[in-house]
Structure 1
Amino acid sequence: MWKEFKEFIMRGNVVELAIGLVMGSAFTAIVNALVDSIIMPFIAGLSGNASVEGLAFNFNGTPIYYGVFLQAVIDFLLIAIVLFFAIKAINSFTALHKQEEEVEEEEPTAEDYLKEIRDLLAEDKISEI
């Protein structure tokens, strides 16, 4: 039983999932810091208020805090925008790096040289006619 458990734990997808979870939580901390420290103070400077959590109305003497919901939606949208641009930048960098690797890999082979010689000889025969 211990052997089966050890095999289960050491499967590639379990380890990759654990790494993804740790990286995701670290990335979440970065995104939250960006939103809380830079974007929200900027919005507060423009609008005069960075939070709408205090918004409420009374319903039969009971306050309904709809501002909490609005703030959650605003936070979600801001985080989604930051993630969109971060992933877009990462994908652009990855595509650029992949193009550089493809350019490096396209070194001519002996077959390429032979094909080029064949084509030149064929052109030479056509020009003689």
Structure 2
Amino acid sequence: MGFFKEFKDFAVRGNVIDLAVGVIIGGAFGKIVTSLVEDIITPAILDPALKAVNAENLSQLVVPGTAIKYGNFLAAAISFVIVAFALFLLIKGINILKRNEEKKETMPAQPSSTDALLMEIRDELKKKS
């Protein structure tokens, strides 16, 4: 029974669940990026270039006389750049939030009004004695 208890503890540990959620969201994000490239970027930006080479989509771009489909590679490269840029923006935003939290923590706390009044009274008493 010790083995199964260890496995259960491992499987329901927060890190494993967080990883599973990340993988699922990553898969969904991948579908969004694929749709963005195939349904928006390719028609809007690449269509003029594709029409110039008499191709309807990126997968038709091949090196003549070979089976090398460089169009598929271009689609994958565009997807990678979009994902990398999105992650860059996400990490940049997280780092800004972390810096703001660190600034808040490093600022010394101001004494409350009661504490300030007590310090003034203390200082006046020191002056008189």
So what's the TM-score if we normalise by structure 2?
0.64
Q: CA deviation at 1:102?
A: 2.2
Q: CA deviation at 1:14?
A: 2.3
The structure whose residues are more often strand, as a share, is 1
Across the two proteins, how many residue pairs are aligned to each other?
103
For 1:54 and 1:104, the matched residues in 2 are separated by: 54
Contact 2:58 2:75 in 1 (8 A): no
Query: 1:45: which partner in 2?
Result: 47
Contact 2:33 2:83 in 1 (8 A): yes
For 1:54 and 1:99, the matched residues in 2 are separated by: 46
So what's the TM-score if we normalise by structure 1?
0.64
Identity percentage over the alignment? 30
Contact 1:55 1:65 in 2 (8 A): yes
Q: CA deviation at 1:6?
A: 1.9
Residue in structure 1 matching 2:23, options 15, 21, 24: 21
Q: CA deviation at 1:109?
A: 4.3
Alignment of 1:1-129 (within 5 A): 1=1, 2-47=4-49, 48=51, 49=55, 50-53=57-60, 55=62, 57=64, 64-67=66-69, 70-109=70-109
Contact 2:61 2:71 in 1 (8 A): no
Amino acid at match of 1:20: G
User: Runs of 5+ in structure 2 lacking a partner?
Assistant: 111-129
Q: 1:7 to 1:99 in 2, by over 3 A?
A: closer
Contact 2:60 2:71 in 1 (8 A): yes
Contact 1:54 1:65 in 2 (8 A): no
Q: 1:21 to 1:86 in 2, by over 3 A?
A: same
User: Runs of 5+ in structure 1 lacking a partner?
Assistant: 59-63, 111-129
Contact 2:62 2:71 in 1 (8 A): no
Query: 1:122: which partner in 2?
Result: none
